[in-house]
Amino acid sequence: MAIYRIPRSKQKTRSRILFLIASTAAIALLYLLSSLNSTNGSTFSPANTSGNLVVKSKNIRMSPTGSEKYLYWGSRIDCPGKHCDSCEGLGHQESSLRCALEEAMFLQRTFVMPSRMCINPIHNKKGILHQSNASTFEERWAASSCAMDSLYDQDLMSTTVPVILDNSETWHQVLSTSMKLGKRGIAHVHGVSRADLKEKSEYSNILLINRTASPLSWFMECKDRNNRSAIMLSYSFLPSMAANRLRDVAEKIKAHLGDYDAIHVRRGDKLKTRKDRFGVERALHPHLDRDTRAEFILCRISKWVPSGRTLFIASNERTSGFFSPLAVRYKLAYSSNYSSIIDPAIENNYQLFMIERLILMGAKTFIKTFKEDETDLSLTDDPKKNTKNWQIPVYTLEGDGC
């Protein structure tokens, strides 16, 4: 989907202004009613009011039947919070989105999902195609983001966690209904545990919970993912929910590949180093640069991938020919080999990476960069999450090896 900004006629501009005036009046009334009928334990602030819940209506997907209840975390992933004025990468945002979806599952509520996702230019070397000269905040946001339904299949996702988008007619119907319900319509909550939201009647009977999540990042609400019993959605959930167009592209490429194995090689941003007070270079992942070089990959994967196999490689390494030494043992394949299939279907690197993930997941043997679960095969033994322990990088092979 190309991101174009089409000039609107003066008539449409006047209609939009009238619509915004009417919406503002309705929202002000809703906030007044909510304030008069505040829920114990809830907090109210301009950032939490229903005025921030409204996004221009787009598609009609379903109508409330009266039995559904809804959960809203914000109009942008990780916002409100410190990331409102910044944009994290796809993986970071998916961690936050998965956390919100888990809470909706736990509360047995329909999740109101942001209709757009910001695109971090650091993780988007491809850029956003069809750039526009945006002048207003709305236009700049549209130009630096992509539609959520261009990434994910909402209907497929709803088979596990019911979701609606915050630009849907359903969402506007929910807001309208919440106004009519008075104190049972909406609760603006902050600092309330999900257990209380589910068990206490002053929350559980409310149509809409407007949840202010952690100001750090949404995923901080689910930081106890080391507790396996607390995980309701696996890391593979959102990658498997890719939009139908992206799934079709991945299926065509997998058909071309036939029987294949795959590796995901994450370098780039993960190779960051800094000097200590003595001028010595240190890294959070001391073995990663070594372990993700071709000669060490050959050594590492030889026990898992037999010689002669087709090996699909997905990586953020931009050096041309970086993985060519692997060709002495394997038939190498990259997404760039299938640009005639991919390019017509994508507009940014987020969509490209989602296609690559589907291909990786379809491999006979899939080797990740970092181990995320105990059963994972990985290129390095360095822990993925390390934010404090900076160590001197290691480039030699330790012990007996290849």
- Residue of higher predicted confidence among 97 and 6: 97
Average pLDDT score over residue span 193-209 = 93
**Mean pLDDT, the chain, whole residue set:** 82
Transcribe 52-92 into DSSP letters.
GT------------SS--EEE--SBTTBTTTTTTS---HHH
Q: Quick check: helix, strand or coil at residue 203? A: helix
The residue type found at 396 is T
Average pLDDT score over residue span 45-64 = 44
Q: pLDDT tens across 112-125, in order?
A: 999 999 998 765 55
Q: pLDDT tens across 7-28, in order?
A: 444 444 444 444 444 444 444 4
Confidence check: pLDDT of 47 > 70? no
> What is the Cα–Cα distance from 297 to 287, expressed in whole angstroms?
12
Report pLDDT for 138: 61
Confidence check: pLDDT of 153 > 60? yes
pLDDT band at 41 (very low <50, low <70, confident <90, very high): very low
pLDDT band at 370 (very low <50, low <70, confident <90, very high): very high
- Residue of higher predicted confidence among 87 and 304: 304
Report pLDDT for 216: 81
The residue type found at 17 is I
Lowest mean pLDDT among 63-77, 81-95, 319-333, 344-358: 63-77
Helices (H), 205-243: 237-240
Confidence check: pLDDT of 139 > 90? no
> What is the Cα–Cα distance from 182 to 224, expressed in whole angstroms?
36
Run of H or E residues at 198: helix 194-199
Report the range out of 29-38, 103-112, 142-151, 211-220 with the highest average pLDDT. 103-112
- Residue of higher predicted confidence among 364 and 401: 364
Round the CA-based radius of gyration of the chain to a whole number and report it: 24
Q: Of 186, 153, 191, 193, nearest to 171 (Cα)?
A: 186
Report pLDDT for 36: 37
- Residue of higher predicted confidence among 56 and 328: 328
Report pLDDT for 169: 96
Q: Using alpha carbons, list the distances in angstroms from residue 309 to 261, 282, 305.
A: 7, 36, 7
Cut 0.85: pTM above it: no
Helix axes 349-361, 90-107, angle to 10 degrees: 70
Q: pLDDT tens across 258-297, in order?
A: 999 999 999 988 888 899 999 999 999 999 999 999 999 9
> What is the Cα–Cα distance from 57 to 74, expressed in whole angstroms?
16
Q: pLDDT tens across 208-227, in order?
A: 999 887 788 898 888 765 56
- Residue of higher predicted confidence among 337 and 3: 337
Report pLDDT for 53: 55
